[in-house]
């Protein structure tokens, strides 16, 4: 019985490595879910998936300073360990690895893991050094928790692509699973950052999913002009009075390069938009049948 289990909190790297090593020696299959905490049902769905694939589920909770830019929300990023324990336990997590920044980045820390090309496009243009912060911390978390499986959400599609690439390029002996996006009833993708939205912004933010669904429907009905799709999506998004639209991009999911033609079996429509000071990202993967 995995659900509702009391969760063991581990704060040190040494103890976590020892626990994982012992579990591996005992023949247990380990799955890990890297998160920044403030867990919601999106995270819970990843933990549940992990629980169905492995014997032991480790959720890592670490608000990683190196993936935040100087003007981003590192210090005010929401944190709530008590609630995280409840959500993680109910979803089937056995262990939470919860280090502090000094444990992860002791004095003298001087290494970087970087997937070069894919880190500098799209999100990377608006968040320089973000992905090298992510790949470095994820490489560390994998070495610390020693999983057989790691699970990421499609919500952060570029991150998932980059981690897949890192795992392949650097021969991590780990299976990566990408889990679908969990949404609110109006379509807004669950995110720890949604808490920053005021009531009006929260309501307006549903235009993002509406615009993505519009693109999906049009593509499935044969529309092939990205210029036209982008123009109509812009109109839908603008009806929600965003403060800024960083990008609306059409991406070949195999190479993660932006495309101006829709002629591949699948296309990813992705966007980043600000409401007030809150930056939201979302995407939809469209299979092209005709």
Task: Provide the token pair at 91.
Answer: 């979803």
Cα 61 to Cα 204: distance, rounded to the nearest angstrom:
30
| Torsion 214-157-247-197 (CA) sign | positive
Tokens of 86: 């409840």
Q: Count the Cβ atoms, other than its own, within 10 Å of residue 5.
A: 17
Q: C-beta of 50: minimal distance to ligand AMP in Å? A: 11
- Pick 154 or 230: Cβ nearer ligand AMP: 154
- Which is nearer to ligand AMP, 45 or 93 (by Cβ)? 45
> Minimum distance from CB of 18 to ligand AMP (Å)?
25
- Per CB under 6 A, residues contacting ligand AMP are 35-36, 42-43, 45-46, 152-153, 155-156, 179, 181-182, 189-192
Is 43 marked active-site?
yes
Which CB sits closer to ligand AMP, 13 or 179? 179
* Closest CB to ligand AMP among residues 19, 162: 162
Shortest Cβ 141–ligand AMP spacing (Å): 11
Distance CA 204, CA 219 (A): 24
Distance separating alpha carbons of residues 120 and 158, to the nearest angstrom: 11
**Minimum distance of ligand AMP from residue 260's CB (angstroms):** 27
Structure tokens, 25: 């020696």
Residue 256 and residue 121 in contact, taking contact as beta carbons nearer than 8 Å: yes
Q: Which of 43, 130, 148, 221 is catalytic?
A: 43
Return the C-alpha torsion angle 23, 165, 72, 39, nearest 10: -40
Q: Which residues are catalytic?
A: 43
């Amino acid at each position: 019985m995995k659900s509702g289990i009391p969760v063991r909190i581990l704060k040190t790297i040494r103890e976590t490595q020892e626990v994982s090593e012992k579990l591996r020696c005992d023949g247990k299959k380990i799955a890990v879910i890297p998160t920044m905490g403030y867990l919601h049902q999106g995270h819970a769905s990843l933990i549940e998936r992990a629980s169905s694939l492995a014997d032991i589920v480790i959720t890592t909770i670490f608000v990683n300073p190196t993936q935040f830019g100087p003007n981003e929300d590192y210090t005010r990023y929401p944190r709530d360990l008590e609630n995280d324990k409840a959500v993680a336990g109910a979803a089937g997590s056995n262990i939470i690895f919860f280090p502090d920044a000094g444990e992860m980045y002791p004095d003298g820390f001087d290494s970087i893991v970087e997937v070069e090309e894919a880190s500098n496009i799209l999100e990377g243009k608006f968040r320089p050094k973000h992905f090298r912060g992510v790949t470095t911390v994820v490489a560390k978390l994998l070495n610390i928790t020693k999983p057989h499986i790691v699970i990421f959400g499609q919500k952060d599609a570029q991150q998932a692509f980059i981690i897949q690439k890192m795992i392949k390029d650097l021969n991590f002996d780990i299976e990566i699973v990408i889990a679908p996006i969990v949404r609110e009833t109006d379509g807004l993708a669950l995110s720890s950052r949604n808490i920053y939205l005021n009531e009006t912004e929260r309501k307006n933010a549903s235009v993002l999913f509406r615009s993505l669904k519009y693109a999906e429907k049009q593509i499935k009905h044969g529309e092939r002009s990205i210029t036209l799709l982008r123009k109509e999506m812009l109109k839908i998004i603008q009806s929600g009075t965003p403060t800024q639209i960083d990008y609306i991009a059409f991406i070949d999911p195999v190479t993660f390069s932006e495309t101006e033609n829709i002629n591949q079996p699948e296309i990813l429509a992705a966007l980043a938009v600000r409401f007030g000071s809150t930056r939201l990202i979302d995407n939809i993967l469209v299979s092209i049948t005709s």
